[in-house]
Chain A
Amino acid sequence: MWQTPTLDPRTKLLIVLCLSSLAVLIKNVYILLLVLVLTLAAVKLTGGEIWHVFSKLKRFISIFLAVIILQSVFTNEGQAIVQVMQVKLITDVGLLRGLQTILRFFIVIAAAVLMTTANPRDIIQGLIQWKVPYELAFMVTIAIRFLPLLQEEATDTLTALQLRGVNLKQIPILKRLRTYSYLLMPLLTSVLMKSRDLSVAMEMRAFRAYPQRTSLRELQFSGIDYLAMALSMLIFLLLLVAALGFN
């Protein structure tokens, strides 16, 4: 029976780095599609939930369609697919560029989902062992820790505003923008209050009292980590060379 390998968070970071870099560097749509398949496979192999990737992408469908249309409209090269008088509205090259952008987007989001399979505390420990200053690593932990809380607060705030009889869909666009500024007020207040309380709590627990920190738990690479890292680097180089060949 298949058992999900427990990879070191640093290995996962390297895999994400390789996949995201490929998404940015490669232009060929077929290779980008291959990178997406590899990314989804990596998510699956590390115990991530692929449906989670698609549920995240579902809400961006309208943006994806807009990207395809905009890329097509602003790209004048290639054969016209839709043309009005002498103006090429949608071209084959434009469509291809739109597709490239969307595939890149898919890959980056799927790669980010891969990181959700790692324990946030372990990610920080990994960064520290990579000699990232503790203060920076700690900031990342705090951001990860407070994100769901902020999301909950934003939902409550929007609910409270709607319960005051404000139907955002029925407000004219200019007034709607003003209404959004009202939503920011409680969120900003909450962030500032939390950061003030947190900084006091950190001081009370002697944060940065000593320049050197020790960790109770040290991360260790295992054989599977070395294998996964070597494979990621190999795939990264092969696909990059293949992409250069196609260009």
Chain B
Amino acid sequence: MISLQDVSFHYKRGKWVFQELNLEIRRNLITFIVGPNGGGKTTLGKLMAGILKPQTGMVLIDNLNTKEVPLAELGAKVGYLFQEPERQIFANTVREEIGFVLDLREVPPAESKAKVDQALAQFQLTHLAALSPLKLSRGEKQRLVIAAIMVNQPQFFILDEPTTGLDQERKAILSGVIEGLQQQGIGMAIISHDQSFVQRHAQQLITVAKGEIVDVANPNT
């Protein structure tokens, strides 16, 4: 569970984005965060992932306080997909992209290869394994980033506007990926403007506007 307790946050030399915010994101539901631009959705997502730290209050990811735990350790609990997947693609080939973190962590080569092969198959990237990630379409890049994060076996996933720039076919593939992740027991918080996507998947719907949670609903449960 991700729990925000009396969280107040502002950017450096900026106004308060959130004040004394309380919220709980449960693992068994797909949570959508919706609301107008500039309302604080991405900031909320980054607070939930531990990327941003609140000035007061605390964010707990499975009882780990994000202020006290290094980001690398939080990465084992929560994955974050940025709006622009290019910002989190690091390696020269699709296979290396999924496996380089395992190599850095000195996972035995046989185990690393097995995990990479499994991730490639799960996210329909096997036929692209030898390609440069730069040659992939936007949807493929997103799946690659999700696959690369999944080898860490996080318990939560936060996705920031994952449907931006995807056509209906790619959106359907992404829907399959999201349903697959839920079947694996991974909790998800998805920031989105895409009404049809929200309607299809949302089990908890949080509406954020002007730094406040204006509504919490449970549409598909």
A interface residues with partner B (beta carbon < 8 Å): 153, 156-157, 159-168, 170-171, 175, 178-179, 182-183, 185-186, 189-190, 193
Contact = CB atoms under 8 A, between A and B. Distances in A.
Nearest to A184: B90
Contacts, number: 75
Interface residues of B, number: 28
A51 B82 CA distance: 33
Given A164-B149, A165-B105, A159 B86 contact: no
B87 A166 contact: no
Given A175-B104, A189-B134, A167 B72 contact: yes
A153 B86 CA distance: 10
A165 B76 contact: yes
B101 A165 contact: yes
A166 B71 CA distance: 9
Interface in B74-107: 74-76, 78-80, 82, 86-92, 100-101, 104-105
B73 interface: yes
A212 B70 CA distance: 56
Contacts of A182: 90-91, 100
A163 B73 contact: no
B23 interface: no
B152 interface: yes
A133 B76 CA distance: 52
Contact of A179 (B76, B89, B104, B148): B104
A165 B72 contact: yes
B116 interface: no
23 contacts: A156-B82, A159-B71, A160-B80, A160-B82, A160-B87, A163-B51, A163-B75, A163-B79, A163-B80, A164-B148, A164-B152, A165-B72, A165-B101, A168-B72, A175-B104, A178-B104, A182-B100, A185-B89, A186-B87, A186-B89, A186-B90, A190-B86, A193-B86
Contacts of A162: 70-72, 75
Majority-rule SS of A interface residues: helix
Interface of B: 49, 51, 70-76, 78-80, 82, 86-92, 100-101, 104-105, 134, 148-149, 152
B104 A166 contact: yes
Nearest to B79: A163
A190 B87 contact: yes
A97 to B, nearest CB: 37
A185 B75 CA distance: 21
Given A163-B71, A164-B75, A165-B72, A186 B88 contact: yes
Nearest to A190: B86
Contact of A163 (B74, B91, B92, B104): B74
Given A157-B87, A161-B88, A189-B89, 12 more contacts: A159-B51, A159-B80, A160-B88, A162-B70, A162-B72, A163-B78, A163-B149, A165-B101, A165-B152, A185-B89, A186-B86, A189-B86
